[in-house]
Amino acid sequence: MRVSTLPNLAAGATELGVVYASVEGVNESSYDECLEILRHNAQALGATAIVGMQLVQSQFQWNPRTSLLATAVKE
């Protein structure tokens, strides 16, 4: 699966919906863990790519989290 942060869809691509993933922690592996969940969620919709990905990392003492949000597309 191709992963892009570009907001432009390829010619002929179909937008399938928004996918979201979140994991506990803000550390070296949390982004990769979160991206793997996001890819899985996108593939479950039949996506072949995700675009417009946004990363949010909150470091509050009581709940540090890494979250990703993206648009799932089929090319």
pLDDT per residue of the chain (75 residues) written in tens, 0 to 9: 776 666 667 788 888 999 999 999 998 899 999 999 999 999 999 999 998 889 999 987 788 999 999 999 998
Q: Which residues pair with 58 in a beta bridge?
A: 65
Confidence (pTM): 0.83
Cα angle: 13, vertex 19, 23; to 5 degrees: 145
Which pair of structure tokens corresponds to residue 20? 């979201």
Domain count, the chain: 1
Q: What is the pLDDT of residue 8?
A: 67
Q: In what order do the strands lie in the sheet with 49-58?
A: 2-3, 49-58, 65-74, 14-24
Identify the pLDDT of residue 33.
97
Q: What pLDDT, on a 0 to 100 scale, did the predictor assign at position 14?
A: 87
Rounded to an integer, what distance in angstroms lies between the CA atom of residue 38 and that of residue 50? 9
- We report the CATH number of the domain holding residue 66 as 3.30.110.70
Angstrom distance (rounded) from CA 1 to CA 70: 14
Residue 35: domain span: 2-74
Q: What is the pLDDT of residue 59?
A: 82
